[in-house]
């Protein structure tokens, strides 16, 4: 097993996840079978209870794991399916070690960070790296490990020590360390400054890890003298100082690294042969060119409550982008804070003008009651004005609430999440879900949805499949007792779970595209294989 370990310095948010994913693409194009692990040094067991403002979206895996959004990058770039164990947190490691201590596994020894925590981290990495992550069922050849946070953080220290030891456990010839750093430009002269990178590499080396490659983030390409200076001070060759400057789209990042000889460096460092033909890289180049060539715009109004941080909806954005490439349109997302729609009863503010000119409207998932009435207004606007609409999870629930209020005339219809005393509880708490714990207690992970009709828009988008497996993350559902009344008025629940009781997909009669899903289709969207409900929205929004 080969390991590529990606760390980051100076500040967070430099693009370690995209760098790690891009290295995985290069390794995969060389004929290796990749897998990936994300180490998050926070104490939370997983990302499930964190606000999207804290840490971006919560990405959900097939096994129901609620994990860091970087695992979404790995799945999309490498076309793999990971598990909850591919995301390693301080909380998980300490829980495991404390549990072993309580069982008496350490035979009376004093349990310490070194060796017990560091050994647990290494054992975890070795075990998870060997698990199959694609449909072949074969063991991976290479594992890309991303260490979250920034080198020098107090909470990353045990993980850095574990990775320092790890290179000797598996053999230094099987490990390649890649460090991502910032090269800022300061002052009117526009000079690229090397000092932050010098300091972060010095810190990393003082902890016992010497990087084999430096990936330097900057707006413009790295200048030759800057590259030579970094090589001199950071104990790497100049060829291994890589420029990761801004590019026109994310799919150019693997190609940018390839142009600088990264595949050859990885092959030399880890001891594998590079094949003559690498069709995967050719298809990435074609995709990057196609994305840059899109000019005709399609406007999608995204009505949410975390619109101040686009990472809160990263998978939704990616699913929209994948679909826009497929329909040959340049995607423009018009962000609308749901509560802004509530603030203007006469519909004359900027939020309403964006909604009015949208080619399609999307209401994504979310929690809590802020902005709910705004989302309900958006669903009603799409329904009444024949604007293509896609609701995801909460987006399905608000559309059902709006339909019951407006079409069935049920005054005060609501979800018991927002109004426990509602006279018409059209969305209710799921009976099997815990009311005392938040973490990992929702209906999570991949579940089957069975189509209830022979022919409908959604089933055609899924190529006529009788059932689909999609990922869920919710605590509330449409009240099964009211489905018959709702369907009688034209809102058809065309997909249900395997019990035949729970609503999974609805479509509205006599509307260009008014579709919602209780599951989150965005989590399984891939470049070149867009999520069917999102593709339907983009097709309808662009008149196709």
Q: Give the residue among 150, 147, 95 at the shortest CA–CA distance from 117.
A: 95
| Share in percent of the chain as helix, strand, coil (round to 5) | 40, 20, 35
At CA 193, angle to CA 188 and CA 194, rounded to 5?
175
At CA 216, angle to CA 212 and CA 222, rounded to 5?
115
Helix (H, G, I), strand (E, B) or coil at 174: helix
Environment class of residue 510 by beta-carbon count within 10 Å: exposed (0-12), middle (13-18) or buried (19+)? exposed
The span from the CA of 223 to the CA of 455, in Å, is 59
Which residues lie below 8 Å from residue 505, measured CB to CB, with a gap of 6+? 449, 451, 458, 493, 494, 495, 515, 516, 517, 518, 533
Environment class of residue 15 by beta-carbon count within 10 Å: exposed (0-12), middle (13-18) or buried (19+)? middle
> Which residues are annotated as catalytic?
393, 520, 522
The span from the CA of 276 to the CA of 270, in Å, is 18
Q: Long-range contacts made by residues 258-266, C-beta under 8 angstroms, separation at least 24? A: 258/26, 262/23, 262/26, 262/213, 263/26, 263/29, 263/30, 265/212, 265/213, 265/239, 265/240, 266/4, 266/23, 266/26, 266/27, 266/30, 266/176
Q: Around 138, how many Cα atoms within 13 Å sit in the side-chain half-sphere?
A: 8
Return the residue matching tokens 């330097």: 216
Query: Is the distance from CB of 340 to CB of 349 less than 8 angstroms?
Result: yes
Helix (H, G, I), strand (E, B) or coil at 75: helix
Residue 179 forms beta bridges with which residues?
7, 214
**pTM for this one?**
0.93
Structure tokens at 30: 């060389």
Helices (H) and strands (E) in the chain, counts: 19, 23
The span from the CA of 158 to the CA of 316, in Å, is 34
From first to last of its 544 residues, what are the pLDDT tens digits of the chain? 999 999 999 998 899 999 999 999 999 999 999 999 999 999 998 888 888 777 789 999 999 999 999 999 999 999 999 999 999 999 999 999 999 999 999 988 999 999 999 999 999 999 999 999 998 889 999 999 999 999 999 999 999 999 999 999 999 999 999 999 999 998 888 899 999 999 999 999 999 999 999 999 999 999 999 999 999 999 999 999 999 999 999 999 999 999 999 999 999 999 999 999 999 999 999 999 999 999 999 999 999 988 777 788 999 999 999 999 999 999 999 999 999 998 887 788 899 999 999 999 999 998 888 899 999 999 999 999 999 999 999 999 999 999 999 999 999 999 999 999 999 999 998 877 766 666 667 889 999 999 999 999 999 999 999 999 999 999 999 999 999 999 999 999 999 999 888 999 999 999 999 999 999 999 999 998 999 999 999 999 999 9
């Amino acid at each position: 097993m080969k390991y590529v370990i990606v760390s980051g310095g100076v500040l967070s948010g430099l693009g370690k996840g995209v760098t790690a994913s891009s290295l995985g693409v290069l390794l995969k194009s060389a004929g290796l079978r990749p897998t990936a692990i994300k180490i998050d040094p926070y104490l939370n067991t997983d990302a499930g209870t964190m606000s999207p403002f804290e840490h971006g979206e919560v990405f959900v895996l097939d096994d129901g794991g609620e994990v860091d959004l970087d695992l979404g990058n790995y799945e999309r770039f490498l076309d793999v399916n990971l598990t909850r164990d591919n995301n390693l947190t301080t909380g998980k490691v300490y829980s495991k070690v404390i549990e072993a201590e309580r069982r008496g596994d350490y035979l009376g020894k004093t349990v310490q960070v070194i060796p017990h925590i560091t050994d647990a981290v290494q054992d975890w990495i070795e075990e998870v790296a060997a698990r199959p992550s694609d449909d072949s069922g074969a063991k991976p050849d290479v594992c890309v490990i991303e260490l979250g946070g920034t080198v020098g953080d107090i909470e990353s220290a045990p993980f850095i020590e574990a990775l320092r030891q790890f290179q000797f456990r598996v053999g230094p010839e099987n490990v390649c360390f890649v460090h991502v750093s910032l090269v800022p430009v300061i002052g009117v002269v526009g000079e690229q400054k090397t000092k932050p990178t010098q300091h972060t590499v010095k810190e990393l080396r003082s902890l016992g890890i010497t990087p084999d490659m430096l990936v330097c983030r900057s707006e413009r390409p790295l200048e030759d003298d800057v590259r030579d200076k970094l090589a001199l001070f950071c104990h790497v060759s100049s060829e291994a100082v890589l420029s990761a400057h801004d590019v026109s789209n994310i799919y150019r990042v693997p190609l940018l690294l390839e142009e600088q000889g990264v595949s050859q460096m990885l092959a030399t460092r880890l001891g594998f042969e590079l094949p003559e033909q690498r069709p995967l890289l050719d298809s990435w180049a074609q995709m990057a060119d196609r994305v840059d060539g899109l000019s005709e715009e399609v406007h999608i109004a995204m009505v949410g409550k975390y619109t101040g941080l686009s990472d809160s909806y990263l998978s939704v954005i990616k699913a929209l982008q994948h679909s826009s490439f497929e329909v040959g349109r340049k995607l423009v997302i018009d962000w609308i804070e749901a509560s802004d729609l509530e603030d203007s009863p006469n519909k004359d503010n900027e939020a309403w003008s964006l909604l009015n000119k949208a080619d399609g409207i999307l209401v994504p998932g979310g929690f809590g009651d802020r902005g709910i009435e705004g989302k309900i207004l958006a669903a009603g606007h799409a329904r009444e004005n024949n604007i293509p609409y896609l609701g995801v999870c909460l987006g399905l629930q608000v559309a059902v609430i709006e339909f019951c209020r407006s079409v069935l005339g049920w005054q005060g219809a609501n979800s018991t999440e927002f109004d426990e005393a509602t006279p018409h509880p059209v969305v209710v708490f799921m009976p099997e879900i815990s009311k005392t714990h938040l973490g990992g207690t929702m209906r999570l992970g991949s579940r089957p949805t069975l189509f209830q009709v022979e022919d409908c828009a959604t089933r055609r988008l899924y190529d006529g499949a009788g059932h689909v497996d999609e990922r869920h993350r919710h605590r509330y559902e449409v009240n099964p007792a009211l489905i018959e009344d709702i369907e009688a008025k034209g809102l058809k629940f065309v997909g249900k779970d395997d019990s035949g009781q729970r609503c999974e997909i609805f479509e509205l009669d006599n509307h260009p595209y008014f579709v919602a899903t209780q599951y989150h289709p965005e989590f399984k969207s891939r470049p070149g294989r867009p999520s069917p409900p999102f593709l339907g929205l983009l097709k309808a929004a662009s008149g196709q």
